[in-house]
């Protein structure tokens, strides 16, 4: 633990002021990322440079905050800075992000009382262009909905992968609908976007207060709340990018706090908590899963803590509540009514943002209303490292063009030929199996500890290693880990978020280097991003984590001998 010192107010304020100026510049820069500016003319490198400076200020402020004497002034400065930075970025144009257009359309559809899982956006567009007198009443209502509002029609036309139905669960859809209800009918596209981001930011700021409560519950320095409140990655992906992850992050953090609080109450009182406490925790966890599916990976952690700290009846109550709420929120997505499938064939969408093909992947099947979720699990891969290495070594490479062939394949084709047709699913099974064992081991070991900080550290590691073994390592997915970063043992974990922003080189590379070679490789910009950039992003972090673990293990052995 660091000894407490008094922060020089000027140093902390200067770091906050420089950060604010940086976000003002980023907001101004964002207006060069509008749809009428081609990727080749967008200032992507300047964006990354400014966010790099923001991370430097963030790390400096965090180092000062966690070494300071805890005070109301410190906490007020952290909360005030977090609010200011978000307000500055609120009117900004999402930089290299367009997911928010689907949120806007889904919310408008749901607010109309129509299932957003029923009609892929491209189907509505095709029906609108055909001007057909369709007998489907709901489809006609959607055509009229987008015809009444130029801004909704704009959002509908900008949706990425519009031939796929929405993959977002019911809780997120309810938030989208809330934003739609709060938006004036004649609102411009930018106004709709700002209102949607404002709603998502309310969940984001609520998460900061949950983090503060969790730090108080576990006895950790409140200065660590800056790790979430001022994190540039959170600001990029939520305040600027407008990603829905803030909803699930809030409910997941709240469920973790409720569980830790309940387990500590059992320790202090020496008796089991009433069944209402695990039921509440389980219900909140179910809402988190119903906002985005990823919190389901924490089920072993919740189960182990309930079982080992509170007993069997508490475990049963918590898991039952989780199952009921989860089924209630996921049923409309997973079990979409087959009777609602349309006979209209969905045409492939040409997206306004370059649709980078994943090598060797077949075209998606868009016939089912829940095809969006299915395709995500069956074929989606982006910006990954560990999964990519496993997958490419399961694929035969003899027929792959040299400019698209991975450089790190060492398995002979004669071995991989037999699994070529199901290599993606096999890679998911292998990496998922290893992660599942790791998650269960982390949960069971942590549940046996008395220190609540160890419990939270296990939850943080579960989310972090899930991200590292996932086939989609989008930077906004790392935001899931950030609320628990105060419990990380190694400093490298605080660097991963900064490295993940190299993902945005994807757009710059594909725009400026359409033809090979690039930097002495056989790749063009697209395949350079696939096969080179993830190694630069994540390999140094993994090596640094290994070194930190090794040094800590050696130190532990030395102290044990002493």
Domain range annotation of the chain: 1-243, 248-335
Instruction: Give CA–CA dist 158/176, Å, rounded.
Output: 17
> Encoding tokens for residue 350?
């040409």
Instruction: Give CA–CA dist 148/178, Å, rounded.
Output: 19
Q: What is the pLDDT of residues 268-320, one digit of tens each?
A: 766 555 555 899 999 999 999 999 999 999 999 999 999 999 889 999 999 99
pLDDT of residue 350: 30
pLDDT of residue 555: 83
Instruction: Give CA–CA dist 149/41, Å, rounded.
Output: 30
In sequence order, the 6+-apart residues with CB closer than 8 A to the CB of 153 are: 146, 147
Phi, then psi, of 90 in degrees rounded to 5: -55, -45
Three-state secondary structure call for residue 109: helix
Percentage of the chain lying above the pLDDT 70 cut: 88
Short-list 104, 174, 164, CA closest to 370: 164
DSSP category for residue 473: -
Q: What is the pLDDT of residues 96-140, one digit of tens each?
A: 999 999 999 999 999 999 999 999 999 998 887 765 555 688 899
Phi, then psi, of 397 in degrees rounded to 5: -115, 0
In sequence order, the 6+-apart residues with CB closer than 8 A to the CB of 388 are: 381, 406, 471, 530, 531, 534
Instruction: Give CA–CA dist 176/169, Å, rounded.
Output: 11
Residue-by-residue DSSP string for 337-399: -GGG--SSPPPPP--SS--PPPTTPPPPP--STTHHHHHHHHH--BS-SHHHHHHHHHS--TT
Rounded CA Rg of the chain = 24
Short-list 160, 134, 136, 120, CA closest to 365: 120
> Encoding tokens for residue 329?
């929120």
pLDDT beneath 70: ranges in the chain: 1-8, 130-135, 269-276, 336-379, 559-562
Short-list 230, 145, 234, CA closest to 183: 145
pLDDT of residue 133: 56
């Amino acid at each position: 633990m660091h000894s407490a010192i008094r922060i020089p107010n000027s140093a902390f304020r200067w770091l906050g002021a420089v950060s604010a100026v940086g976000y003002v510049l980023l907001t101004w820069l964002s207006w060069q990322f509008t749809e009428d500016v081609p990727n080749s003319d967008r200032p992507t490198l300047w964006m990354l440079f400014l966010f790099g400076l923001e991370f430097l200020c963030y790390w400096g402020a965090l180092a000062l905050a966690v070494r300071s004497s805890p005070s109301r002034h410190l906490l007020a400065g952290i909360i005030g800075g977090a609010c200011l930075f978000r307000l500055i970025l609120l009117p900004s144009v999402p930089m290299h992000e367009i997911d928010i257009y689907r949120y806007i359309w889904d919310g408008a559809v749901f607010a109309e009382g129509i299932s957003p899982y029923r009609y892929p956006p491209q189907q509505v567009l095709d029906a609108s262009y055909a001007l057909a007198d369709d007998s489907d009443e709901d489809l006609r209502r959607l055509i009229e909905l987008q015809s009444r509002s130029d801004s909704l029609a704009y959002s509908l036309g900008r949706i990425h992968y519009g031939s796929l139905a929405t993959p977002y669960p019911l809780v997120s859809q309810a938030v989208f609908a809330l934003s739609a209800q709060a938006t004036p009918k004649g609102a411009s596209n930018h106004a709709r976007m700002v209102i949607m981001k404002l709603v998502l930011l309310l969940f984001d700021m609520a998460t900061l207060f949950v983090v503060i409560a969790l730090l108080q519950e576990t006895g950790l320095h409140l200065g660590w709340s800056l790790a979430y409140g001022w994190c540039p990655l959170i600001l990029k992906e939520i305040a600027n990018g407008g990603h829905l992850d803030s909803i699930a992050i809030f409910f997941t953090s709240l469920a973790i706090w409720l569980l830790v609080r309940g387990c500590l109450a059992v320790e202090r009182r020496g008796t089991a908590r009433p069944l209402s406490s695990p039921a509440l925790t389980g219900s909140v966890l179910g809402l988190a899963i119903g906002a985005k599916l990823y919190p389901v990976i924490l089920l072993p952690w919740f189960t182990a803590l309930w079982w080992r700290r509170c007993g069997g009846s508490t475990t049963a109550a918590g898991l039952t509540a989780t199952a009921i709420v989860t089924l209630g929120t996921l049923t409309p997505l997973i079990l979409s009514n087959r009777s609602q499938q349309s006979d209209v064939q969905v045409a492939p969408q040409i997206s306004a943002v370059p649709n980078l093909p994943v090598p060797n992947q077949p075209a998606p099947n868009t016939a089912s209303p829940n095809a969006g979720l299915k395709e995500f699990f069956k074929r989606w891969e982006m910006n990954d490292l560990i999964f990519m290495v496993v997958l490419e070594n399961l694929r035969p490479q003899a027929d792959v063009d040299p400019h698209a062939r991975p450089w790190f394949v060492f398995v002979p084709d004669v071995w991989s030929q037999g699994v070529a047709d199901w290599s993606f699913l096999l890679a998911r099974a292998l990496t998922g199996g290893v992660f599942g064992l790791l998650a269960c081991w982390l949960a069971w070991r942590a549940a046996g500890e008395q220190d609540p900080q160890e419990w939270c550290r296990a939850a943080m590691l579960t989310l972090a290693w899930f991200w590292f073994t996932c086939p989609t390592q989008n930077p906004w997915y790392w935001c899931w880990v950030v609320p628990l970063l105060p419990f990380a043992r190694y400093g490298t974990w605080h660097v991963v978020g900064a490295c993940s922003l190299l993902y945005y080189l994807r757009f710059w590379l594909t725009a400026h280097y359409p033809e090979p070679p690039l930097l002495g490789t056989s790749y063009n910009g697209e395949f350079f991003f696939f096969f080179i950039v993830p190694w630069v992003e994540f390999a140094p972090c993994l090596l640094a984590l290994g070194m930190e673990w090794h040094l800590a293990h050696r130190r532990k052995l030395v102290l044990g001998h002493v």
